[in-house]
């Protein structure tokens, strides 16, 4: 009878322990230990360290990477990564299973210049399945090579020999190292595989893109530890209607964070949307009005995006009224409700409040405060707002409206779409606090 051996690894730093621990002695994280099963059949044939010893290089002789950044045939993707993709960088492409991570890789392949060799290692699908999907995307003239190898030492060996400029690994959960004695997808495995891929990228100057499955509830281990290790972390979000995808950069050593790429899900794959503003607002007559809905211009990355803020305020049947919010932090909603109560004498104590941003986009831009307040008051009082009215501003606890960053850029975007009535705060303090809404809703 074989006894199953177990150990525990820290999700934050990869520290391994024989017993579960509440606090990691290495990085001091709490409740970060995850169980790993140790397998007995370890293939030790590859255990030797095959990394070449590299001597330090004279600084003048180090290549200047900025000059040969990989520019793709798609400006949106170039902007998303900074101003192209930096050679030798390691990019993490994370998101829930089925959200479109592999499809995005095909899209990238389509926009990578034909002269650049791409090696795609997939432990998720057979090469025939990959071929089918690849044909659908219509990237047929790129130099993409596919393989089902998922042992990281072999991937490393092949790449060192064949020298592709791009290496896609799909996914880190199916990848494994023969030097680690736990199963695929465990923290120890993920850490080791990621390290080997990073070493390869730095040594060869190739771009390595690693697909990583995560779930909202975080029951898949490992992604956190990878985030510390790689250069760029991107995350796929999808809306509740499954109609579009947002790829967001959460970490980027070479560019802006919170940069977004917006895609529409089509039958043949993902379509990049050049103009997110036109996508997030409903097409409507600007002369008309709506109740419980108004516009705001948020900044995502470097990009201004027009969104509709929607609110529904209804009498509550509960002793504790509901606060339900999609895309906006509920604590923010509560704060705005308190400000309205105090400074406009308008309370929502006996009302359920639902808010969301059109298209299911999520934002942490503080410039949406004013628009949320306006949408909620409009819904409660059943007062319409004209469709060309835009509200931009952060609310202060004292009832003031604060100027937000990049206001000129936001106003310009609104004007571009014919939204000519923009309410915002500027240096001259044009709006004397939230009290102006009293007149507005008269």
Residue ranges that bind Zn ion, judged by CB under 5 A: 10, 12-13, 15, 24, 26-27, 29
The helices-and-strands tally (H runs, E runs) of the chain is 11, 22
- CB of 25 or CB of 418, closer to Zn ion: 25
Shortest CB 23 distance to Zn ion, Å: 9
- CB of 6 or CB of 432, closer to Zn ion: 6
Shortest CB 191 distance to Zn ion, Å: 11
Cα dihedral 417/423/427/430 (nearest 10): 140
- CB of 110 or CB of 224, closer to Zn ion: 224
How far is residue 169's CA from residue 150's CA, in Å, rounded to a whole number?
A: 8
Shortest CB 225 distance to Zn ion, Å: 9
How far is residue 143's CA from residue 209's CA, in Å, rounded to a whole number?
A: 16
List of E strands, 253-383: 260-266, 269-272, 289-291, 293-300, 303-315, 323-326, 351-357
Structure tokens at 214: 């995560």
Query: Per residue in 190-218, is it b (16+ CB within 10 Å) or e — as a string?
Result: bbbbbebbbebbeebbbbbbbbbbbeeee
Three-state DSSP class for 272? strand
How far is residue 278's CA from residue 246's CA, in Å, rounded to a whole number?
A: 15
Shortest CB 190 distance to Zn ion, Å: 14
Shortest CB 223 distance to Zn ion, Å: 15
How far is residue 426's CA from residue 104's CA, in Å, rounded to a whole number?
A: 40
Angle at 133 between CA 128 and CA 135, to 5 degrees: 95
Nearest to 261 by CA among 143, 46, 437, 108: 108
- CB of 20 or CB of 145, closer to Zn ion: 20
- CB of 10 or CB of 180, closer to Zn ion: 10
Structure tokens at 257: 């964070």
How far is residue 47's CA from residue 52's CA, in Å, rounded to a whole number?
A: 15
- CB of 12 or CB of 259, closer to Zn ion: 12
- CB of 27 or CB of 149, closer to Zn ion: 27
Shortest CB 164 distance to Zn ion, Å: 34
Residues written for the chain: 442
How far is residue 429's CA from residue 180's CA, in Å, rounded to a whole number?
A: 62
Structure tokens at 24: 């990691």
- CB of 15 or CB of 80, closer to Zn ion: 15
Shortest CB 13 distance to Zn ion, Å: 3
- CB of 21 or CB of 338, closer to Zn ion: 21
Shortest CB 22 distance to Zn ion, Å: 12
Shortest CB 231 distance to Zn ion, Å: 21
């Amino acid at each position: 009878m074989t006894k199953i051996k177990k150990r525990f690894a820290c999700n934050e730093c990869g520290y391994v322990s024989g017993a579960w621990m509440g606090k990691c002695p290495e990085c001091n994280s709490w409740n970060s230990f995850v169980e790993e099963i140790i397998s007995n059949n370890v293939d030790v044939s590859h255990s030797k360290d095959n990394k070449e010893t590299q001597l330090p290089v004279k600084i003048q002789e180090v290549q200047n990477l900025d000059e040969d950044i990989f520019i793709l045939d798609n400006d949106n993707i170039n902007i998303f990564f900074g101003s192209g993709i930096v050679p030798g960088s390691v990019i993490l492409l994370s998101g829930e299973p089925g959200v479109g991570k592999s499809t995005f890789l095909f899209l990238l392949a389509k926009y990578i210049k034909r002269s650049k060799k791409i090696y795609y290692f997939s432990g998720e699908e057979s090469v025939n399945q990959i071929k089918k999907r690849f044909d659908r995307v219509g990237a047929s003239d790129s130099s993409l090579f596919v393989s089902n190898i998922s042992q990281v030492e072999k991937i490393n060996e092949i790449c060192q020999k064949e020298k592709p400029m791009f290496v896609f690994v799909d996914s880190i959960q199916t990848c494994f190292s023969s030097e680690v004695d736990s199963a695929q997808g465990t923290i120890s495995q993920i850490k080791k595989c990621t390290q080997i891929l990073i070493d390869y990228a730095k040594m060869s100057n190739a771009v390595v893109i690693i697909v990583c499955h995560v779930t909202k509830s975080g029951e898949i281990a490992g992604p956190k530890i990878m985030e510390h290790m790689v250069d760029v972390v991107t995350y796929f979000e999808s809306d509740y209607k499954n109609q579009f995808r947002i790829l967001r950069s959460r970490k980027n050593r070479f560019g802006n964070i919170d940069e977004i790429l917006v895609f529409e899900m089509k039958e043949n794959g993902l379509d990049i949307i050049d103009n997110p503003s036109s996508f997030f607002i409903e097409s409507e007559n600007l002369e008309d009005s709506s109740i419980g809905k108004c516009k705001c211009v948020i900044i995502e990355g470097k990009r201004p995006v027009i969104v509709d803020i929607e609110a529904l305020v209804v009498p509550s049947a509960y002793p504790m009224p509901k606060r339900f919010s999609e895309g906006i932090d509920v604590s923010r909603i509560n704060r705005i409700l308190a400000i309205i109560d105090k400074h406009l004498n308008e309370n929502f104590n006996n009302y359920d409040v639902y808010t969301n941003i059109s298209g299911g986009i999520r934002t942490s831009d503080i410039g949406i405060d004013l628009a949320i307040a306006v949408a909620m008051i409009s819904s409660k009082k059943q007062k319409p707002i004209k469709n060309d009215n835009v509200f931009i501003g952060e609310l202060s606890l004292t009832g003031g409206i604060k100027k937000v960053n990049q206001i000129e850029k936001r106003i310009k975007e609104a004007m571009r779409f014919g939204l000519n009535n923009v309410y915002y705060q500027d240096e001259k303090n044009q709006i004397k606090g939230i009290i102006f809404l009293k007149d507005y809703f008269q």
